[in-house]
Every structure is written in structure tokens, then in C-alpha cells.
Structure 1
Amino acid sequence: MTALRKTTLALTPEAAPFAIRAEKASDVAAREALLDACFGANRHARTCQRLRDGRAPAEGLSLLAVSQGRLVGTVRLWHVSAGGIPALMLGPLAVEASSRQLGVGAALMDHALAAAKARGHRAVILLGDAPYYARFGFSAAKTGELSLPGAFERDRLLGLEFCEGALDGARGMIVPTGARLPKTRAVRARKAKALLLPRVA
């Protein structure tokens, strides 16, 4: 019997199972299909979607994970006011089911947070599972007095400060402050989403 030999593989960018890059206009259909697969067709009714509808994501903070030319993950950040305090809202973070063991979600988070910090943003808020996002520094320590425009679970509203004290005194409603999409773009986006929804006979 031949003994199995352990080898260590150094993942260079060429050998890596996926790469992180900025989102492009041509990625819209693939991104929407991935989001539908991850969250279901009713994802547009979710509370946080109200902070994104008709708004552009924060500049430079729409990232994708691509494997062999195929989109396998996505994350975006959006400008909001957290009870009068400027912040970013992260989401949705989505990873294709077959790629979830590759560390795609963590890589997208690391890249997105590093990019947000480099651009001078002071804080990020999200709605998600505390045990997962705690590894990136998120907690509910300063979000207890904040609200969202719809139903949400209090312990899932989490915040991360890049600058100490950035969320001090944050209370009240989280509202969108990002640039509004031109009407034609917003209508086109809604039509694209409609085309991607499964047809029911």
C-alpha cells in the first residue's frame, strides 16, 4: 500500500478557486439570478431592501467573487443615516451553495470592509447572524436604539466601527441616503428582475 503524502498548496491568484473583483454593469443579470437562488423570489419584500430600492450602492463598494468565469458571490454596501449618523449598510451578502466551503463569504467581507475603511467610511451596519459576523468585528453593542423601516429581529441588527465612537449615540430610524437611481435605470432594473422570476402557469 502506498502511503498518502501530505502536500501544501500555496494559492496564487492564478491557482485560487475564486477571485474578488469590482462589479460591472454586465454582471446585473447573473447577480440577480444568484440573489434569487440564495434568498428566493420574495427577497424584494425584505425589510433591508427598502433601504436599497431606487438607490445606487456606495461607490467602489459593490464586489463579486468569480470562479472560472462564473459569478459565485456578491456583496454591496449602501449609504444610510443611522439616526442622523452617516454609515454604510452592508448587504446582501450571497454565495452560491456549491462554493460556500471555499471561504467566498469571508473573502468578500474582508475585501468589502477593507475597501470601505480605505475610502474613509466610519461605520458599517448590517442585519445578519451575530455568530457569523462577530468574526469580522460586528456586534449589537451600539445598535440597540436603532430601528429599520419594517419588521426585524433586534439581535440581528449589528454594527462595526472603523473609528472608535463612530456609532456613539446612534438612535432612531435607519434611512437611505445614497444617490437616487435615474428613473429609467430603476425601471430597467425592475424589468430585469421580473424577467428572472420563474413563470407560474
Structure 2
Amino acid sequence: MFDAPARPAPLRIEIEAPADAAAVEALVLAAFGPGRFAKTAERLRERARVAAGFVAREDGEIIGSVRLWAIRVGGEPALFLGPIAVAADSRRAGLGADLVQACVDHAGTTGILLVGDLPYFGRFGFRPAPDVSLSGPVDPRRVLWRGEGEAAGLVQPV
């Protein structure tokens, strides 16, 4: 008689818990390095409150994360997505997309802004937001919006 090989625990996307904060921060730092602190998006996140966070957990370990931040765009409530981080040894087709989809599902009809690549985020309904301005340098072609109507105005943290 032989034992069947153990099946790995399935990958799960869950709401980030307060106890996950240190693991998420370590994952983001490993994925982006200290250079992330120089980015305009990081300046915005430092002043905004977390509206929601999601983690990908495999065998009890956090291998992916993403957060939504409370912002206003031109005075209207919205969410700012990012950063999306996946552990180097866990990068496989679909995990980042699953994390983005969790954010889209959570947001419902609330608009989401991000700084990213249109070829990747376009499949989730994001489009260029040329009339949105952030307080700092950013490539305007990478400022993307998903929501009803057009986003316009200055982005401010909430």
C-alpha cells in the first residue's frame, strides 16, 4: 500500500486582515524595492486610507497582494488601485489578474484610478484618463480610469 501524494492547498484570494500588514509590506518591498518610495503613486498612498485590501494565500503564506485606497478625483469619491505584488517564485499566469478582479468586484460602481499599462489593465475596463492630474510627476499615458463617465480633476487622498 502507498500513500497518495498530498495535494497542495488551493490558492485563495481573501480580504486582507490587520494581521497580514507586515507580510504584505515585506512582499511589496521585495517586489518593488525601495525605489517605489520615489513614485508619485506612493506619495498618494502615504496620505490616503486603505479602503480595502486583498491577499493571495497559498498553504497559509501570502504570495500576492493588492490594495484600494480612498481618494477623490475632482472632488468625487473614487478608489486608487495598487500596488499589485506577487512573490517572485509564485508569478504565474493569472494571479495578478485575479487580484485586480477582486478589486473591480469590490468597487462595484465606484470609479477606480491607477497608474499602469493599458495593454494589461484594458481587459478590466480601464481606459486613459487624460484629464486627471496627480500631485507629482507621472506619465499621463499611464493614468487609467475605470468607472462611469470620464474622470477629471486633481486626485486627492481621503
Cα distance, 1:63 vs. partner? 0.5
Corresponding residue for residue 130 of structure 1? 118
**In the alignment, is residue 84 of structure 1 matched against residue 75 of structure 2?**
yes
Corresponding residue for residue 175 of structure 1? 156
Cα distance, 1:95 vs. partner? 1.0
Corresponding residue for residue 25 of structure 1? 18
Alignment partners' CA distance in 1, 2:65 and 2:38: 19
Structure 1 stretches of 5 or more lacking a match? 1-13, 178-201
Cα distance, 1:171 vs. partner? 2.7
User: Percent identical across equivalent pairs?
Assistant: 42
Over residues 29-84 of structure 1, what are the superposed CA-to-partner deviations in whole Å (9 max), with x where a residue is unaligned?
211111111111132221011222143211xx211001111111101111111122
**In the alignment, is residue 103 of structure 1 matched against residue 94 of structure 2?**
yes
Equivalent residue in structure 1 for 2:107, among 101, 116, 122: 116
Cα distance, 1:15 vs. partner? 5.4
Corresponding residue for residue 197 of structure 1? none
Alignment partners' CA distance in 2, 1:135 and 1:101: 18
Aligned in 2, Cα 1:149/1:86: closer, same or farther, shift over 3 Å?
same
| Displaced runs of 4 or more, over 2 A | none
RMSD: 1.6
Cα distance, 1:103 vs. partner? 1.5
Corresponding residue for residue 65 of structure 1? 56
Alignment partners' CA distance in 1, 2:49 and 2:153: 23
Larger radius of gyration: 1
Structure 2 stretches of 5 or more lacking a match? 1-7
Q: Mapping of 1:134-153 within 5 angstroms?
A: 134-140=122-128, 143-153=129-139
Q: TM-score, normalised by structure 1?
A: 0.70
Structure 1 letter corresponding to 2:79: L
